[in-house]
């Protein structure tokens, strides 16, 4: 299996071939690019090759390239992950104390242009709080709602996430460890 810097078979490979039974932590996905599902994964294996994160193709039955270990990662920094082509809602998502960020990726399957918007609604409220708005061009666009911007939304406790979009997209809400700095990664968004 090859790890790429963005989803797509024509994207640069960022590390050597992964050995059989290599373990990775799924960050977000699948993101459909040219009818192939792609997952952003982080290295969770002590063996070579070492990488921070990258995109891998999921494969298809009866021979999937990715399969679940069946274990729950209690140390996961991810509060929630969503993916869809079109609109979606998810919740409640527990936003605990501390810093959070929202990482996202989107593309127009028809390669013309599409729109992508994310809002959050605190449980028990009917007032949606807009968080992300983007127009996606002919390529793959990605971004990060930084922790200071997420903090300005003043969200805590259970919230519902709503995505209004005509794009193919994936996003993840990440808990940022105190004092942590985000490692540079070829697949990381600015």
Strand pairing partners for 84? Answer: 169
Closest CA to 55 of 156, 146, 170: 170
Residues 99-120 as b/e (b if ≥16 CB within 10 A, e otherwise) read ebbbbbbbbbeeeeebebbbbb
CATH number for the segment(s) 78-176: 2.60.120.230
**pLDDT band at residue 169 under the 50/70/90 scheme:** very high
**pLDDT band at residue 186 under the 50/70/90 scheme:** very low
Render pLDDT for 15-26 as a digit per residue (tens, 0 to 9). Answer: 988 888 899 999
How high is the pLDDT of residue 190? 45
**pLDDT band at residue 161 under the 50/70/90 scheme:** very high
Could you tell me what percent of the chain has a pLDDT over 70?
A: 94
How high is the pLDDT of residue 8? 94
Render pLDDT for 37-90 as a digit per residue (tens, 0 to 9). Answer: 999 999 989 888 989 999 999 987 777 888 888 888 888 899 999 999 999 999
Q: How far apart are CA 149 and CA 66, in angstroms?
A: 34
């Amino acid at each position: 299996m090859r790890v790429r810097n963005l989803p797509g078979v024509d994207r640069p490979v960022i590390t050597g071939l992964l050995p059989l039974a290599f373990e990775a932590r799924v960050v977000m996905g699948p993101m459909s690019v040219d009818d192939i599902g792609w997952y952003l994964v982080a290295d969770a294996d002590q063996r070579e090759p070492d990488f921070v994160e990258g995109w891998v193709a999921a494969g298809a039955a009866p021979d999937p390239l990715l399969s679940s270990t069946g274990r729950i990662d209690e140390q996961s920094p991810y509060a929630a992950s969503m993916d869809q082509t079109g609109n979606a809602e998810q919740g409640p998502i527990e936003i605990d104390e501390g810093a959070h960020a929202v990482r996202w990726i989107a593309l127009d399957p028809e390669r013309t242009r599409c729109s992508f918007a994310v809002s959050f609604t605190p449980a028990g409220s009917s007032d949606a709080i807009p968080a992300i708005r983007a127009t996606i061009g002919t390529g793959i666009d990605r971004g990060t709602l930084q922790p200071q911007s997420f903090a300005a939304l003043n969200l805590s406790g259970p919230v519902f996430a709503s995505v209004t979009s005509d794009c193919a997209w994936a996003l993840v809400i990440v808990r940022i460890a105190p004092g942590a700095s985000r490692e540079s990664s070829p697949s990381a968004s600015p």
